[in-house]
Structure 1
Amino acid sequence: MGEGASTRDGIAGLDFSAITPEQFAEIVKGLSAKEIDRIARDGELRARILEEVFARMERQFKRDAAGSLQALIRWKVTSAADQAEAVYETAIADGTCTVTEGRSDATPRVTLAMGDADFLKLVSGNQSPVMMFMMRKVKITGDVAFAAGLNRYFDIPKP
């Protein structure tokens, strides 16, 4: 088996609920964009990873930092592996964070669009959001200043 198969099998065998955000960040740090794209070819595994990442968003939310913030963040994760675009929404309201899969009719304050590899690098703290924007790895529609400060509302690992 090639390197891509062993990487995919290693990720597929993980119990995501048993690893910490810091451990996840280290795993992502060790993967190249090509390896992540290979993993994303497995639609079931890709969906499992995205579901876990977005579920953790609710747990990693910094309630005190958000205060009375009211905002809807739409995430569009595109795939280089012929998988459908994944859309999730993060609603911040009244000191809570709720994540839903799919697109609502609500107007988001900001929409962030990026590929699988860039998304995982961003949410695991392995890439600077500002650098990603400047390098056009993430497309931002809406309130760019708000998007630049999103990391203050979530406890993002420091790999």
Structure 2
Amino acid sequence: MTDFNPESLSSIGPKEFAQLVKSTPDSQIAEVMSGDARTKILDEVFNRMPQLFRAEKAGNTSAVIHWVITGGADGGSDTYETVIENGACTVTNKPERDPKLAMTMDPVTFLKVVSGDGNPMMMFMTGKIKAKGDLGLAANVAKLFDIPKA
């Protein structure tokens, strides 16, 4: 298995990524995600979202979702914006629109969610994910993407 770093992420597919997250200890993910590689890893994950978007599941869903990933340098966070409208998904790391849903989580929780290695509902119930706004959308957001199973 490859090491958990930006270079390995750019060369593997979603299924391999899911296996990598599952096989990497949380402490190692947390360490990598608190360092210089954080932005590259987050960009890599978010840049894949449009390809993994399942338009057939979205129907006429129109939503702006903000993903707030805590645990950055100096205690900061990174916010990415996912816009779902007209059967398409776009992503930016410069949020411009008011979100219908904002979800806040640490980087380990985020990577577990997007790799299919964690149950988002359980993570919400236990406080690992904080959601503001449309909780119905929060409950269904995972269904809008082809999340690999490790």
Shorter-chain TM range is: over 0.9
SS of alignment partner, residue 102 of structure 1 = coil
Consecutive unaligned residues of structure 2, counting only runs of 5 or more, are: none
The aligned counterpart of 1:117 is: 108
Equivalent of residue 41 in structure 2, options 25, 36, 49: 49
The runs of at least 4 consecutive aligned structure 1 residues that moved more than 6 Å come to none
CA distance in 1, matches of 2:68, 2:11: 26
The aligned counterpart of 1:94 is: 86
Normalising by structure 2, report the TM-score. 0.92
Equivalent of residue 68 in structure 1, options 60, 82, 89: 60
CA distance in 1, matches of 2:16, 2:138: 25
SS of alignment partner, residue 110 of structure 2 = helix
Q: Give the superposed CA RMSD.
A: 1.7
CA contact (8 A) 1:38 1:81 kept: no
Instruction: Calculate percent identity across the aligned residue pairs.
Output: 39
Q: Does 1:28 align with 2:21?
A: yes
Equivalent of residue 32 in structure 2, options 28, 39, 62: 39
CA distance in 1, matches of 2:128, 2:29: 15
Consecutive unaligned residues of structure 1, counting only runs of 5 or more, are: 1-8
